[in-house]
Amino acid sequence: GVRLGTFLDDQVAQDPMIVRVKDRVEETASHKGGALGHYHYFSLGKGKNDRHMEPLYIIVDPSPEEKQLSSHEGEELVIVVSGEVELAYGKQTYRLTAGDSMYYNSIVPHYLSAVGGVPAEIYAVIYMPF
């Protein structure tokens, strides 16, 4: 049978928490705002107790949909791995490519989209004071 201790060990990640590329699992939502269909979220911190950040690997599909700006307390750090993204931030728009990063206060209305007709890959770390 399954020992309770083993089950509990699987629920709470150890320090340091390491997520191998082959072990990433797609989630349905990132943070309190939920997920839209063109974002594929892979949590890099799920199960780690006592955490204050939400680290994610995200595949962003190009989308012709209307941009829905989101706003929430906290900060976000995004690093572009591949493709090209557009960040709508307040009244400004920025284009970023592989290797570029953006770090911003997420209380300002923002939206991130893939541009150029191909998916983009990003790493994001979201901090939300709980």
pLDDT tens-digit series, residues 67-121: 789 999 999 999 999 999 999 999 999 999 999 999 999 999 999 999 999 999 9
Q: Which two tokens stand for residue 9?
A: 């060990």
Between β-strands 120-127 and 92-97, what pairing exists: parallel, antiparallel or unpaired? unpaired
More confident residue, 2 or 49: 49
Distances (CA, A) of 55 to 1, 31, 47, 51: 34, 10, 12, 10
Say what the pTM is. 0.80
Cβ atoms of 63 and 38 within 8 Å: the answer is yes
Residues 6+ apart with CB under 8 A from 121: 57, 58, 59, 60, 80, 81, 82, 83
